Each structure stands twice: as structure tokens, then as C-alpha cells.
């Protein structure tokens, strides 16, 4: 894992729930993911939201 990705993930996990939803919206996330991100309370749950099993390869298409 690159240093850039570590920093990005850490920054996301420390954001307030409403800021997480704003960031996901900016990244082009679908509406259902925004609602789930606002309810997520822990980094583990946030990671599950960002990489749902329904996407091919387990990664959302807007993540690099």
C-alpha cells in the first residue's frame, strides 16, 4: 500500500459522518452509499461501505 493511499484512508476515517458523505458525493458515489456512510460509526464499517461485495473485485468503480 502506498503512502498516499494510507494518508487518504486515515483522513477519511477521521472525518465527521456528514463530511464523509460529502466526500463520497464528490467522488460520485451512489445515493445509497452516501446514506450508509452517514450512519457508519467505525473505520471497519466505513471500509465495508467503501468496498462493498456487490462491486466487481470488491471495489467501488470510483476508487483508484
> What are the pLDDT tens digits along the chain (64 aa)?
555 555 555 566 667 767 777 777 777 777 777 777 666 655 555 666 666 555 555 555 555 4
Q: What is the pTM of this model?
A: 0.34
Per-residue pLDDT at 33: 74
- Residue 15, classified by CB atoms within 10 Å of its CB into exposed (0-12), middle (13-18) or buried (19+), is middle
Residue 43 CB neighbour total at 10 angstroms: 13
Amino acid at each position: 500500500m502506498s503512502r498516499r493511499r494510507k494518508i487518504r484512508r486515515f483522513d477519511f476515517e477521521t472525518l465527521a459522518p456528514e463530511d464523509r458523505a460529502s466526500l463520497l458525493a464528490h467522488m460520485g458515489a451512489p445515493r445509497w452509499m452516501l446514506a450508509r456512510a452517514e450512519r457508519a460509526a467505525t473505520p471497519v464499517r466505513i471500509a465495508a461501505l467503501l468496498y462493498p461485495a456487490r462491486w466487481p473485485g470488491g471495489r467501488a468503480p470510483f476508487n483508484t
